Amino acid sequence: MIKAGDILEGTVLEVKEKSVILKFGTKAIEASSKTDLKVGEKIKVKIQGWHKGRLLLKVLDKPSIMPSNSIDLRV
């Protein structure tokens, strides 16, 4: 089970208009994205926690114009 503070490394499988599909090991998830990602890009995310039944992720290895405590992805 994942918990707040965990760091996951994965790959962007697909970029849609309002979401992205991310692969972490043998699992893939679809997430709404607030950052620019490209297909095939390797990413590292930190689990921020849960809010209203959604998993909140912060992309770590990408410069962002948003504050460091903001949320880049919602699952």
For the segment 13-48, what is each residue's pLDDT rounded down to a tens digit?
999 988 899 999 999 999 888 888 899 999 999 998
Give the integer Cα–Cα distance in Å for 67 and 38: 21
Q: What is the pLDDT of residue 34?
A: 80
End-to-end CA distance of the chain: 15
Residue with tokens 């114009």: 65
Q: What is the pLDDT of residue 55?
A: 85
Q: Is 68 helix (H, G, I), strand (E, B) or coil?
A: coil
Q: How much of the chain, in percent, has pLDDT values that exceed 70?
A: 81
DSSP state of 63: -
Q: What is the pLDDT of residue 11?
A: 95
Q: What is the pLDDT of residue 58?
A: 86
Q: What is the pLDDT of residue 36?
A: 85
- Give the domain ranges of the chain: 7-74
Query: Is the CATH code 2.40.50 the one for domain 7-74?
Result: yes
Q: Tell me if 74 sits within 8 A of 32, measured CB to CB.
A: yes
